[in-house]
Amino acid sequence: MKQSRTSILFIVVFFIVGLTFGQSKPKVTFIELGSVNCIPCKQMQPVMKAIEEKYPKEVKVIFYDVWTKEQKPFAQKYGIKLIPTQVFLDENGKEFHRHEGFYPEKEIDKLLQGKGIKPINKKLKYD
pLDDT tens across 58-99, in order? 999 999 999 999 999 999 999 999 999 999 999 999 999 999
The domain spanning residue 95 has which CATH number?
3.40.30.10
Judge whether 120 lies within some domain: no
Domain range for 87: 28-114
Query: Is 16 part of a structural domain of the chain?
Result: no
Does any domain span residue 96? yes
Give me the number of domains the chain comprises: 1
Residue 23: pLDDT band (50, 70, 90) is low
Segment 30-46, tens digit of pLDDT: 999 999 999 999 999 99
Length of the chain: 127
Which pTM value belongs to this model? 0.77
